């Protein structure tokens, strides 16, 4: 028996040695059969493969409203203030964007102009950084800086003169010599001239007699002083500050004395002249501030032209532009708070404001009517109302025409006061219908989709495929081998989240990549 088994083994071994190629082929076939039978790849019950796509992405706010007609918009200022301009009259037809009325907005307009100037300067600086600069351009920048400094000097000189004149007018106006004697019946001397000092003062005048006749002595808080023969015919200088005194025949009584206060705070023109001085000082400050800003911009521009551009320089200039744009938007927003613009074309049917009036915020000042036009009215929940802005595009359908026809409208008004239905807080909006007015019936129910944000041809993936690290950074599970269920963590930067639970990927993916979402 043992001999038979040994003989059998030897015979099989000899067979395998002689037919090794066929043996290997059989093994390969066996492995292929096993691979077909045994399942591989991701588990569809707990793992879903998503594809990064390049497409347009929108973020919208949905609402249900009604179609109505004859738009009556109640317009008001967002801030309180004094009305400076009313540019319309009752019954006037006005156009969308037209300024109807405005409050005093000198500082806001100045800030806006400065912001625009800073933006243009930042944009120019970026362009110069990207382009590089020649020696001629450097020289031009040097001349610009020199001119800015000269302009500052000229502005300073002019503004100082205006302030000096306003101060002299305040200090010199209606100056009086007031007797120091309570029961004096003498006529006060006349004070004339223009006071040239830039500080307040007080003069004391005393009459006394000498062997040579009557004399007057004077002294002031600022150190002015002296004496002179009394004259009733000619004005006599009181020191070197531009003031003169002339006595009347009855004001030369022996031992009489007078006091002259500078300025004369009892003058009927004192408050007016004081306001003029403060206004001149404010104007000087603003003018010099603007001139200094021009110098600073010119100096920065020259420094930039002399410097060799580096990547960090470019990034810095780009950041300057973004900052300047933000300041323009902020200044523009502050300025727009001071004006009322027509949100649509229409007629002025009510006007309740006057120039010089101090008007409260949110008080109805103007009513604008668009006669014969159709518009939408809808309630927006308080959670979404901050996303809604005038001018946004609204696509909508109406139940009477079905969902296959889409029309366009534009947001024109947002109520400042909410309405409450139990615990639900809503704000009413109005949107001017731009298309389909001849098809849509008044009173129809409208289904609104308000476009908040839109980007075209961007990389997007479902929200659920994005994961967050402990440090707040985002990543996805990038599929490296779908068949073998292999993935790796790939960092990404996300943009805005739009409709359909889709999120923009600004870096990390280029589109068409496979990413994994695990349900458990």
CATH at residue 502: 2.40.30.170
Is residue 146 situated within a structural domain? no
Taking each helix axis from N to C terminus, what angle separates 2-18 and 20-37, rounded to the nearest 10 degrees? 90
Number of neighbouring beta carbons within 10 Å of residue 329: 12
CB 378 within 8 A of CB 65: yes
Does residue 7 belong to any structural domain of this protein?
no
Q: What pLDDT, on a 0 to 100 scale, did the predictor assign at position 73?
A: 84
Of 169, 356, 194, 159, nearest to 272 by C-alpha is: 169
Shared domain check, 393 and 475? yes
Residues 248 and 354 reside in one and the same domain: no
What residues make up the domain containing 467? 60-69+375-517
Q: Evaluate whether residue 291 is within a structural domain.
A: no
When divided into structural domains, the chain yields a total of 4
Asked whether residue 215 is domain-assigned, the answer is yes
- Do residues 413 and 500 share a domain? yes
3-state secondary structure at position 323: helix
Q: Taking the model in full, what pTM does it have?
A: 0.36
Name the token pair of 253: 């009584």
List of the chain residues with pLDDT < 50 = 2, 5, 13, 34, 37-39
Query: Which is nearest to 231 in space by CA: 190, 179, 181?
Result: 190
Q: What is the CATH number of the domain that holds 355?
A: 2.40.50.100
256 within 8 A of 207, measured Cβ to Cβ: yes
Domain assignment of residue 212, yes or no: yes
d(CA 286, CA 92): 38
451, 506: one domain: yes
Q: Which residue has the tokens 């808080």?
A: 221
| 356 and 401 both lie in a single domain | no
Are 81 and 212 in a shared domain? no
Distance CA 245, CA 377 (A): 77
Q: Are residues 207 and 231 in the same domain?
A: yes
Measured N-to-C along each axis, helices 106-131 and 311-336 cross at an angle, to the nearest 10 degrees, of 160
pLDDT at 91: 78
Whether 241 and 229 map to the same domain: the answer is yes
Which DSSP state fits 509? -
Structure tokens at 506: 């600004």
Residue ending a domain, among 324, 350, 369, is 369
Q: Is residue 31 in a domain?
A: no
Looking at the fold, whether 344 and 395 belong to one and the same domain comes out as: no
Q: Are residues 506 and 390 in the same domain?
A: yes
According to DSSP, residue 180 is labeled S
Domain check: are 85 and 125 in the same one? Answer: no
**351 and 456 assigned to the same domain:** no
């Amino acid at each position: 028996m043992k001999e038979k088994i040994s003989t059998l083994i030897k015979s099989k071994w000899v067979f395998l040695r002689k037919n090794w190629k066929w043996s290997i082929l059989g093994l390969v076939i066996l492995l292929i059969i096993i691979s077909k039978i045994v399942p591989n790849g991701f588990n569809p019950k707990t793992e879903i493969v998503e594809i990064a796509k390049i497409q347009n992405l929108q973020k919208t706010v949905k609402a249900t409203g009604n179609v109505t007609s004859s738009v009556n918009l109640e317009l008001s200022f967002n801030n309180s203030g004094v009305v400076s301009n009313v540019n319309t009259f009752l019954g006037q037809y006005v156009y969308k964007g037209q300024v109807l009325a405005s409050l005093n907005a000198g500082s806001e307009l100045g800030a806006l102009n400065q912001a625009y100037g800073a933006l243009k300067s930042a944009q120019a600086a970026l362009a110069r950084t990207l382009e590089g600069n020649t020696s001629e351009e450097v020289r031009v920048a040097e001349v610009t800086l020199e001119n800015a400094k000269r302009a500052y000097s000229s502005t300073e000189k002019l503004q100082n003169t205006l302030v000096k004149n306003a101060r002299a007018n305040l200090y010199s106006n209606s100056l009086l010599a007031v007797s120091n004697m309570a029961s004096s019946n003498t006529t006060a001397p006349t004070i004339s001239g223009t006071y040239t000092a830039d500080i307040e003062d007080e003069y004391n005048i005393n009459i006394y007699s000498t062997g040579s006749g009557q004399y007057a002595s004077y002294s002031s808080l600022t150190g002015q002083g002296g004496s002179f023969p009394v004259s009733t015919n000619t004005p006599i200088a009181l020191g070197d500050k531009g003031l003169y005194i002339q006595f009347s025949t009855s004001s030369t009584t022996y031992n009489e004395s007078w006091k002259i206060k500078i300025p004369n705070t009892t003058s009927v023109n004192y408050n007016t002249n004081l306001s003029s001085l403060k206004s001149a000082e404010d104007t000087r400050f603003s003018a010099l501030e603007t001139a200094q800003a021009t110098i600073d911009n010119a100096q920065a521009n020259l420094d930039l032209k002399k410097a060799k551009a580096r990547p960090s320089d470019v990034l810095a200039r780009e950041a300057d532009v973004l900052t300047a744009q933000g300041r323009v938007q902020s200044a523009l927003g502050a300025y727009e708070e001071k004006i009322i613009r027509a949100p649509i074309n229409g007629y002025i049917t009510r006007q309740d404001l006057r120039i010089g009036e101090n008007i409260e915020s949110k008080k109805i000042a103007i009513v604008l009517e668009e006669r014969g036009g159709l518009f939408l009215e809808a309630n927006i929940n308080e959670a979404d109302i901050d996303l809604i802005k005038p001018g946004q595009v609204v696509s909508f359908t109406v139940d009477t025409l079905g969902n296959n026809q889409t029309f366009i409208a534009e947001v024109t008004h947002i109520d400042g006061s909410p309405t409450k239905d139990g615990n639900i807080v809503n704000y009413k909006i109005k949107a001017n219908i731009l298309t389909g007015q001849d098809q849509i019936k008044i009173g129809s129910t409208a289904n609104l989709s308000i476009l908040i944000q839109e980007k075209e041809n961007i990389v997007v993936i479902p929200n659920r495929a994005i994961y967050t690290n402990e440090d707040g950074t985002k990543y996805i599970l990038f599929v490296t081998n779908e068949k073998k269920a292999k993935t790796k963590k790939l960092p990404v930067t996300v943009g805005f989240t739009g409709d359909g639970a889709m999120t923009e990927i600004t870096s990390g993916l280029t589109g068409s990549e496979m990413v994994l979402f695990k349900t458990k």
